[in-house]
């Protein structure tokens, strides 16, 4: 079944709203990217206007920024420690924005959106 991101069929009061037109193709959504740990794999998706969006399927590296000296280094991702978006994502090692990952540099909070930006950036967490 398709993912539809159009206007809700409910009014703010809870009653049913009558649609004045049908659904449009531009209102269709896509499945979540669900970025995992592994060799780098990307998918290019055509968006409206012929533009491209890069979806990151899997990656094993992260760009880590150290807030103490503002230096950026690349580190290996070992596993996902915490993910507030969904507790099941920790078990499945799925990386989203806000997830805390264990890296070779220490614990890092992800600041980018891997499913939208095609890259994983993060900030080192002081322990």
Which pLDDT tens digit goes with each residue over 31-69? 999 999 999 999 999 988 999 999 999 999 999 999 999
The pLDDT value given to residue 54 = 93
The pLDDT value given to residue 2 = 85
Q: Where are the domains of the chain?
A: 33-124
Task: Tell me how far apart the alpha carbons of residues 27 and 88 are, in angstroms, rounded to a whole number.
Answer: 28
pLDDT in tens, 65-74: 999 999 999 9
CB atoms within 10 A of CB 77: 23
CATH number at 33-124: 3.10.290.70
The pLDDT value given to residue 77 = 97
**Percentage of the chain with pLDDT > 70?**
99
| Ramachandran angles phi, psi of 25, nearest 5° | -65, -30
Task: Tell me how far apart the alpha carbons of residues 125 and 127 are, in angstroms, rounded to a whole number.
Answer: 6
Distance of CA 69 to the CA centre of its chain: 27
């Amino acid at each position: 079944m398709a993912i539809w991101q159009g206007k809700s069929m409910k009014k703010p009061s809870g009653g049913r709203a009558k649609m004045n037109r049908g659904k449009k193709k531009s209102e269709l959504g896509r499945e979540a990217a669900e970025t995992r740990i592994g060799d780098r794999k990307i998918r290019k998706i055509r968006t409206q206007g012929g533009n491209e969006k890069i979806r990151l399927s899997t990656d094993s590296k992260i760009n880590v920024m150290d807030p103490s000296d503002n230096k950026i280094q690349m580190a290996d991702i070992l596993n996902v420690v915490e993910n507030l978006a969904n507790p099941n994502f920790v078990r499945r090692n799925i990386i989203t924005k806000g997830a805390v990952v264990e890296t070779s540099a220490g614990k890092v909070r992800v600041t980018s959106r891997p499913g939208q930006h095609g890259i994983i950036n993060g900030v080192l967490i002081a322990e």
